[in-house]
Amino acid sequence: MDYRKDFPFLDKNIIYFDNGATSLKPKCVIDKMNEYYLNYPSNAHRGDYSISIKASSEFENAREKLRKFINAKSTKEIIFTSGSTESISTVIYGYFMNKLKKGDEVLVTKAEHASIILPWYDLANKIGIKIKFIPLNKDYSFSIDNLINSITPKTKVLSIAEITNVIGDRRDIKKITSICHKNGIKVLIDGAQSLGHIKVDVSDSDVDFFAISAHKMLGPMGVRALYGKEELLNDLDPIKKGGGMTISFDNKDSIIYKELPYKLEAGTQNIAGVIGFGEAIDYINKIGIDNITNYTHELKKYLVEKLKKLDNIIIYNENIEGSTVIINIKDVFSQDTAIYLDKHNICVRSGDHCDKKLKDEINITNTVRISLYFYNTKEEIDKLVEVLNNNNILEESLGI
């Protein structure tokens, strides 16, 4: 797959292995946003003049592209937000805070991102719900058996990622949702690491809510989305109130909201961002999502095979299928490894990757994360492994 020519950044001879944090953007996405700013830079849904109508039309086209991409039933089920953190919080504060009561249980795992764990902690403090951590398998992946064993009559919500941002295991959302629904449990899935990497079909999986991130799948920063079943979104109290969401508000008791999705999109939207997101979806469709999945999984296998030949490496998730590898160099702090690699123009992430509970399981607070996407190559992996094959990484990281 030679898609590298579509990514202007790759001309800089920098090896980018931090795709779990954000992906690179193809030129067509950047051009599409420039086109908006240059040719029809107006607000959407606000004007009767032609460029505003054009902006509205492009904005709604992007919504339809996303609907089709995840196979939602209606564009009413697609809400644009400023971040998947906001998407998750919209559901937790706008829906579940009104539905749950003291003692109700929410299931998560210790492999989840802060954007999942922290709002639930907050609800535990505010209304007394109970957070239960489903035990992970020995390889830190999700366990269906442990899910089943964790369910009690008080369990009301399961809140996990489809693919976690550290371990990177893919959870079988269809199977998990089926088990949950049989037990009257609602399912909130964080799709930030999965959409754009694997095929997502919200109708087939029957998931209740699905949080989406544009910038991790070739789209711009500052645009995310939320999928929710129409009947659930209709029952969700908007956590943001402002312009564009109401029909009338004569007094505090007579606020009439617009229909979905506008009811949940208060304030001016990131028009250029949403339009750019639509272009990113077109680009991914052109490549084919299955091709992306197969190629990134092949790259990961190649990376693991190569890394295993080095004697100074600890690999924490070698047997997990996916596109993320987490490692440490023996006796080197992860940040020092990342700074060393930066000196060789290789970008990786070090730290706890916003998952501060995983240390309870993995016994290590921080790692180096190498996260791959379809524009990475085996040649780049060879270069990484060559640079890591060095017994003086710590010394050379110091820059002295």
Partner 1 sequence: MNNELKRELIIENFNHPVNRGLTNNKDYLREEKNNSSCIDHFTIELKLEDNIVKDIRFDGEACAIATSSLSIAISKIIGKTKEEALNIIDNYNKMIKGEDYDKKVLEELSIFEDVGRQPARVKCATLGILGIYDLLNK
Residues that bind partner 1 (CB under 8 A): 331, 333-336, 339, 342, 350-352, 365-366, 394-395, 397-400
Provide the sign of the torsion angle of the four alpha carbons 166, 167, 173, 178, taken in this order: negative
- Residue 354 known to be catalytic: yes
- Amino acid identity for residue 187 in this structure: V
| Bond into 41 cis (ω within 30) | no
Smallest separation (angstroms) from partner 1 to the CB of 24: 21
Q: Can you say whether residue 294 is alpha, beta or left, with left for phi > 0 and alpha for psi between -120 and 50 degrees? A: alpha
Cβ contacts of residue 209 below 8 Å, gap of 6+? Answer: 91, 95, 186, 187, 188, 189, 226, 227, 228, 229, 232
- Indicate the residue among 291 and 365 with the shorter CB distance to partner 1: 365
Spatial separation of the C-alpha atoms in residues 110 and 127, rounded to whole Å:
22
Min CB(400)–partner 1 separation in Å: 5
Angstrom CA distances, 64 to 7, 42, 263, 353, 362, stand at 25, 20, 17, 32, 41
H/E element, 35: helix 27-39
- Straight-line distance from the first to the last Cα atom of the chain, in angstroms, rounded to the nearest whole number: 40
Residues in contact with 136: Cβ distance below 8 Å, sequence separation at least 6, in sequence order: 109, 110, 111, 142, 143, 146, 361
Phi-psi group of 288: left, alpha or beta (phi > 0 → left; psi -120 to 50 → alpha; rest → beta): left
Q: Which residues are annotated as catalytic?
A: 354
